Structure 1
Amino acid sequence: MLHLRHLVGRSTLRALLFASAAGLAAGGALLATDVLAAPVRAQAAAPAFVSDRLSVEVVGSGPDVILIPGFASSREVWRAEAERLKASHRVHLVQLAGFAGEPWSHGDGPFLEPMIGELARYVREAGLERPAVVGHSMGGLTGLMLAQRHPERVGRVMSVDSLPFFSALYGPTATVETARPFAEQTAAAIRSMDEAAFRAGQVQTDATMARNEATRAAMLEWSVASDRQAMAAAMRDVMTTDLRPGLATMSTPVWAIYAADADGGAPAGMADGLWAREYAGLPGVRLIRVDGSRHFIMADQPARFAGLVDQFLAD
């Protein structure tokens, strides 16, 4: 789930690689590779909503779809999908504060819960009627949280290569309390690493997150442009947020799309077992594996991903 694979032990790194692991971060008719090769703010219109936790750009018209990027990512990760969907849907492109050059004013304070509150406020104030929510990595966790905290605000959720408890990657017996020390250590490392070491670590990690060079280059620039305090706060919250206890009572339809790649990614059997185990408590969840992809499914398998989004929105 993080671009911080170099910060933790090698056994954890293997887990991080196939879960949403090293990239809680970032990209479909316009090729995703073309969009991701662009600068961080390329093609962005003036946001329709701005707060100190997030901003939202709106394109197109029709049924509402909210697209949420992951850890340290720009909304541009969704640009290709937004361009494809805007002829038939009103697309709401979220940008989280502190990521990809966006300002952060909350120091080491909480990240996830206040952001979820602002996202729910946006849905309410914009008058959206139970929109579909699609989130990648940390954005997938955000979509599940929004549906659990504010079920009346969400019509359906697609979680893209994300789990309801990130720290389950440490093993099936992991809990919030056992994960807390690792979360604090990881946050401290994010804050303290010098720029050269941080960039070098991102380059190494990004190679495991996507197959094409343009995607990796965009990921690198987004993460380097992100605020370290925001990254640390987000990672600490993500590692200590367990949504599994609330799965059994969820009525919001959920699709969980996950990646498998025999060449440097998650082995299919391992990914199948992990996703089946971690989503076991969610009634009616649809688990769909996308082969030949690393963490950034929308960039590595854009045609397959676009087809799944269309099915999800039509279901």
Structure 2
Amino acid sequence: MTVRPILARAAFACAVTALAAAAVFHPAWAAAPIAVPSAAAPRFTVTVTGQGPDVILIPGLASSAAVWDATVAQLQGRYRLHVIQVAGFAGAPVGGNAEGPVIQPSVEALDGYIRSAHLKAPAVIGHSMGGLMGLMLARQHPEDVGRLMVVDSLPFYPVVFSPAATVETVKPQAAALRDMAEKSTPEAWAAGETRTLARLVKSPEGLKAATAAAIASDPSVSGRALYDDLTTDLRGEIAAITTPTVMLYPWDAATGAPQEAYDALYTSAYAPMTAAKVKRIDGSLHFIMLDQPVAFAAEIESFLRPGS
């Protein structure tokens, strides 16, 4: 069996996750914002803790800032951590994401935050959509990023459906998924998320928390962010990114896909980006930080080590 049909199912699972209808907010996964990039209608809120070199942590599509809790506990005695909560995800107010595109304006807001907070080339770590945002930031505002870690993201995600995919061929399906979010009922999407997240997280506790965050996400914000994600193609741009980058991707035998196929998919996707080191984390699904916390913590230490 080839990797593309399997990854295509995973991609669809991520899409369904992103379109979860709003339900009861799960307080354990709420960021406690102490700084925002704009006093009116922010694109995201930021929680700042710790002292030391600056590190920005960006969660993924329909995810909570609390996905980084273990990383914060690991680093806050040695680093100053800026944990992003995208507006409209995980029960956070929709803020500036109430309408229109989500990802590109959030990247611009992140550039504004880095400048206004006078951060000097911070390390940036992003998961999934957050990884795509990190790539976009490094490409569009290279002075903003000292080093970058991308956790399971691709320069153009629809290649998991077809290597011949283009933005134009993907747009109709992406628009349909976006529009589906507006018509969904909370009950239907809550039930769907229970099934969907099981394909993305192995850890029982991680699965519970990630599912709650997805269900609590605003359906319109999630749908539009998904559309942005599926129609953003950086394949022709990543060669110009010179920021030192580590890209982590998962593999697990339970997917039924050959390890070699996963290796080929990710290494070929990042081959034009000579500044990138691509590493596989075994025994994990999409949420590497939840499924393999010890291995992930070791990669974080290596990534942040001076001179690495």
What is the CA distance between 1:190 and its match in structure 2? 2.0
Query: In structure 1, what is the Cα distance between the partners aligned to 2:268 and 2:183?
Result: 35
Q: TM-score, normalised by structure 2?
A: 0.89
Relative to structure 1, the CA distance from residue 21 to residue 155 in structure 2 (aligned partners, 3 Å threshold; closer, same or farther) is farther
SS of 1:49's equivalent? coil
Matched, 1:289 2:280: yes
Aligned to 1:48: 35
Aligned to 2:57: 67
Within a 5 Å distance, the mapping from 1:86-165 to structure 2 comes to 86-105=76-95, 106-165=97-156
What is the CA distance between 1:49 and its match in structure 2? 2.4
Query: In structure 2, what is the Cα distance between the partners aligned to 1:311 and 1:111?
Result: 32
Relative to structure 1, the CA distance from residue 50 to residue 120 in structure 2 (aligned partners, 3 Å threshold; closer, same or farther) is closer
Relative to structure 1, the CA distance from residue 196 to residue 266 in structure 2 (aligned partners, 3 Å threshold; closer, same or farther) is farther
Deviation beyond 3 Å, 4+ runs, structure 1? 16-21, 23-26, 105-108, 264-267
Relative to structure 1, the CA distance from residue 68 to residue 123 in structure 2 (aligned partners, 3 Å threshold; closer, same or farther) is same
What is the CA distance between 1:292 and its match in structure 2? 0.5
Aligned to 1:174: 165
What is the CA distance between 1:50 and its match in structure 2? 4.8
Relative to structure 1, the CA distance from residue 152 to residue 50 in structure 2 (aligned partners, 3 Å threshold; closer, same or farther) is closer
What do the CA deviations read for 1:74-121 (whole angstroms, capped 9, x no partner)?
A: 100001101110111111100001101111144440111110010000
Query: In structure 1, what is the Cα distance between the partners aligned to 2:266 and 2:227?
Result: 22
| Amino acid in the other structure paired with 1:99 | F
Query: In structure 1, what is the Cα distance between the partners aligned to 2:250 and 2:100?
Result: 32
* Structure 1: 5+ residue stretches without partners: 1-10, 27-36
| Amino acid in the other structure paired with 2:7 | A
Aligned to 1:77: 67
Alignment counterpart, residue 58 of structure 1, candidates 20, 42, 48: 48
Matched, 1:39 2:28: yes
Relative to structure 1, the CA distance from residue 80 to residue 265 in structure 2 (aligned partners, 3 Å threshold; closer, same or farther) is farther
Q: TM-score, normalised by structure 1?
A: 0.87
| Amino acid in the other structure paired with 1:243 | L
Query: In structure 2, what is the Cα distance between the partners aligned to 1:24 and 1:302?
Result: 25
Q: Is the 8 A contact 1:137 1:162 kept in 2?
A: yes
Q: Is the 8 A contact 1:24 1:137 kept in 2?
A: no
Q: Is the 8 A contact 2:37 2:109 kept in 1?
A: no
Aligned to 1:15: 7
| Amino acid in the other structure paired with 1:56 | V
Alignment counterpart, residue 255 of structure 2, candidates 257, 261, 264: 264
Query: In structure 2, what is the Cα distance between the partners aligned to 1:20 and 1:158?
Result: 24
Query: In structure 1, what is the Cα distance between the partners aligned to 2:55 and 2:15?
Result: 23
Q: Is the 8 A contact 1:132 1:155 kept in 2?
A: yes
SS of 1:179's equivalent? helix
SS of 2:279's equivalent? strand
SS of 2:212's equivalent? helix
Q: Is the 8 A contact 1:66 1:132 kept in 2?
A: yes
What is the CA distance between 1:38 and its match in structure 2? 7.4
Query: In structure 2, what is the Cα distance between the partners aligned to 1:176 and 1:197?
Result: 29
Relative to structure 1, the CA distance from residue 98 to residue 38 in structure 2 (aligned partners, 3 Å threshold; closer, same or farther) is closer
What is the CA distance between 1:161 and its match in structure 2? 0.8
Relative to structure 1, the CA distance from residue 163 to residue 177 in structure 2 (aligned partners, 3 Å threshold; closer, same or farther) is same
Query: In structure 2, what is the Cα distance between the partners aligned to 1:189 and 1:53?
Result: 23
Q: Is the 8 A contact 2:17 2:197 kept in 1?
A: no
| Amino acid in the other structure paired with 1:14 | I
What is the CA distance between 1:221 and its match in structure 2? 1.3
Within a 5 Å distance, the mapping from 1:181-192 to structure 2 comes to 181-192=172-183
Relative to structure 1, the CA distance from residue 208 to residue 199 in structure 2 (aligned partners, 3 Å threshold; closer, same or farther) is same
Relative to structure 1, the CA distance from residue 160 to residue 86 in structure 2 (aligned partners, 3 Å threshold; closer, same or farther) is same
Instruction: Give the aligned CA root-mean-square deviation in angstroms.
Output: 2.2
Query: In structure 1, what is the Cα distance between the partners aligned to 2:202 and 2:256?
Result: 10
SS of 1:157's equivalent? strand
Relative to structure 1, the CA distance from residue 25 to residue 288 in structure 2 (aligned partners, 3 Å threshold; closer, same or farther) is farther
Query: In structure 2, what is the Cα distance between the partners aligned to 1:49 and 1:195?
Result: 29
